Structures are given as C-alpha cells and as structure tokens.
Amino acid sequence: MKYRIEKDSFGEIQVPSDKYWGAQTQRSLECFDIGKEKFDSFFIECLSLIKLSCALANNQLCPERLTDEKLKYITLAYEQILKGKLDGNFPLSVWQTGSGTQTNMNVNEVFANYGNELAGKRLLHPNDDINMSQSSNDVFPSAMHVCTVLDIKSSLIPEIKRLINEFLILEERYKNTTKSGRTHLQDATPITFGQEVSGWRASLECDLAQIEESLKPLQKIALGGTAVGTGLNAPKYFDEIACEHLSRLCGTEFVPSENKFHSLSSKSELVFAHGALKALACDLMKIANDIRWLASGPRLGLGEITIPANEPGSSIMPGKVNPTQCEAITMIATQVMGNDATIGICASQGNFELNVFMPVMIYNLMQSVSLLSSGIYSFSENCVKGILANEKKMKENLDKSLMLVTALTPYIGYQRGAEIAKLAQKEGITLKEACLSLGYLTENEFDKYFRPEDMV
C-alpha cells in the first residue's frame, strides 16, 4: 500500500494515498480499533449536509474568509458524498470519543482533501474552512437530530402506514366474522375478527401519532453553540442562516435551539423520540404474538387463521410451517427495547456542558429505525397481507365457549350464569343443556336470549 504524509497539531502521520481522510482520522483508526460498528452512510450524509449549510452561511456572512471559490469546491465535495462516490472514506468506529469529534474531523478532512484535489491546490483547510463557525460539540448533536428526523420520515413512517393499510383491508373483509374473544389466554365474550384487527390497526395509528409528535423537538438543533453553548467564533445570525439553508436543502424545517447549553449537554429529545419507537416495538410484539397464537396448529392449536407458508419450517419434520415473520419482528422488538435502555442510560450521563455518549446513542437509534422499517415491510408483505380467517374453526371455537353464558346474565343474574358454565364444563355438555337442566330458562327463552352474533 502506498502512503502520503499528513500533518496535524500532533505532527506527521502516514495516510493511505488512495484515501481522502487526513491525520486526525488516521490517528482515530489506529487508537480506536474497536468492534465492527461503523456509522451508517445516511448519518455521514446528514453530517455532510450540515457542513454544506454552514459553508453557505459562512459565505453569506464572512465572504472574505469563506470565499465563493471555497464554497464551490465544498459544494462539489458534498455532491460526491451524496452520490456515494466517496464511500470508503468514512471508516471510523462508533467506539471513539463520546463527542463524535473524530467523525466530525473525518468529514472535515474528506471535504478539504477532495475539494483541494478538484481545485488543484491547497485551497481548503479542514478546521479553518470546513469546520468554520462550528465545533464537534454542536455539529454532532445537530447531525443526530437531522438524521433521526429525516430517517424516520423517509423510511419508517411509510412502512407503518403500509401495515396500517393492510390491517384496514383485513378489518373490512372480516367485519362480520364472529369469533371468541380471549382475555388472560382464557375464553371471553365474542368479538368479530374485524374488531380484533381494528385493535391492531388503532395501536399502530397511536404509535404513528406519537412518533410524529416526537419529531418536533428534534427540529430544534444545537448548531451555532460551538464548544460550550456560547457561540464563540461563530458570527452573529450564523445559527439562523445555517438552519435556513439546511431546511431548504433537506425539505424539512430545522431551527436553532433557544438554549444551546441545553442542546449540547442534554439528549432528552432523542430519549423521547426513541421512547416512541419503543412503544411501536411493544405493539408490534403484541400484534405478532396474537397472530402466531391465532395461527397455531394447524390441528392442535387455535387454528383460527392461516398465514403464508414462505419456507420449510423444520430441518427434520416434513411439511412443518412456522410463523417465521412473527418471530423476526418480535426479535426486532427486543433489540429496539434494548437500544432504548442504552439510549436512556447514555442521556443520563452528560457532564457539565457536554454529553459524551453521543456516537453510541445515534448508532442505536439508527439501528432501531432501520430494523423497524425493514422489519415492518417484511412482516406486512410476507405475513399480514396473506392472512386468511378460518371461519369454520372460529365458529367451532365460538360455539364451544362457556363465556357465551354472559349473554344470559341480564335475565338470570351472574350467580346462576356461573352455575350454568360450571355445570357445562363439569359434565361436558352445552350451555343450553346445562341451563335447561337447572331450570333457569325455558328452551324458547334460551334461544331468544342466547345470540352470540348480537354480543359483539
């Protein structure tokens, strides 16, 4: 491998000649060779978007320092990063300095070195030009907010809506299909399958509303606070103008935080946002478990629905089909719950003017968004879309339910209803037979009051 010599305040260091990063990136690579976790390319794109927005603001406010020529090459570098042409130049581990300084400098160095190559001269400096009016301490948390908002809007929200729509289709199709309800895993009074599905659908709608609400605080960003929140070395109005450019470039409004001291040291907005993701994960766990319980069998379980048979379920038992999509989405739910614990702990650990657990926070948050987005798509397309009700089995189970006796309690009272249910269970007879044998109603009265389809 060929190398070139790069310099920083620590001195000279060898850097691979085919890479655009500089000395600080190389030092981080050598000092933090930890794990395999890297920053998602989308996060790098969002951080780069902030760099361009800052350059535009600096050019507007301080054109003698951030000249039109410099802005031209910064813009060209950003365009290449966005196209993925500079992939492979952002190699740093998540497990680095807790402020994300090394990743910020990695992006600064790539912008500068690539821009200089295009310009054919040393025009751009990573600190003086690309990081002008900024600090890692305000850039990195700003990138976290921007990335979270854009990622959730572009990838997760459409998939939640897709799944809601599939449940709406099921809900309408089976709105008149009566079945037994269940509470405590025990027989309960009847519902329609459409009503049962509507509960799943409404849970997701609630989760969606909470997620959308959680994005609003994230649209306030730390940019302009620089090192400790005072805005040192940033010109007046820099934060406002940079946010205007950022909003225009990404099509989503971002505004400066009213209190930069809060924005640098607290990560409560991210905790709130991921809490909404955890709520979604909890509901997905419940829904997937409902589906695999209802599909259990096919002969020795509930068997009230069938789900698509996507692949063989066993390496030894021929013909076995398992609820694999349910298993995948429930595993995703547990990972999201674990990520939420990590994010909460990280947010509690800020000291004085800065939180220094930011890289692992955004790594976990982006993993949750990615897993939920792709997992919901797979669950929707490969499971929910193919659910069919076994209406014969639903009626068979309903007809055997002892909790249908609840329909009689307005006429004979709770105590007598309990006697009927217990006798039917003990003797293995129907509720009608038990009721008539106890003499609590005539046959005509029983047939008049006992109408399961009217209980939903």
Residues involved in catalysis: 184, 314
Gap between the Cα atoms of 77 and 75, Å rounded: 5
Q: Find where tokens 């655009």 sit.
A: 20
Q: What is the DSSP string of 362-421?
A: HHHHHHHHHHHHHHHHHHHHHTGGG-EE-HHHHHHHHHH-GGGGGGGHHHH-HHHHHHHH
- CB distance 61 to 241 below 8 Å: yes
Gap between the Cα atoms of 118 and 15, Å rounded: 19
Q: What is the DSSP string of 129-178?
A: IITTT--HHHHHHHHHHHHHHHHIIIIIHHHHHHHHHHHHHHHHHTTT-E
Gap between the Cα atoms of 180 and 394, Å rounded: 7
Gap between the Cα atoms of 111 and 80, Å rounded: 10
- 240: its two tokens: 């406002």
- 243: its two tokens: 């946010």
Q: Find where tokens 């063989």 sit.
A: 312
Collapsing DSSP states into helix, strand and coil, what is residue 89? coil
Question: CA end-to-end span of the chain, whole Å?
Answer: 73
3-state class percentages of the chain: helix first, strand second, coil last, to nearest 5: 60, 10, 30
What is the DSSP-derived secondary structure letter of residue 220? E
Gap between the Cα atoms of 210 and 202, Å rounded: 12
The CA distances from residue 168 to 155, 173, 195, 198, 385, in Å, are: 21, 9, 11, 7, 11
Buried b (16+ CB within 10 A) or exposed e, 172-195: eebeebbbbbbeeeebebbbbbbb
Task: Work out the burial of residue 116: count CB atoms within 10 Å of its CB; fewer than 13 is exposed, 13-18 middle, 19 or more buried.
Answer: middle
Task: Work out the burial of residue 449: count CB atoms within 10 Å of its CB; fewer than 13 is exposed, 13-18 middle, 19 or more buried.
Answer: middle
The answer for 120, left when phi > 0, alpha when psi is -120 to 50, beta otherwise, is: left
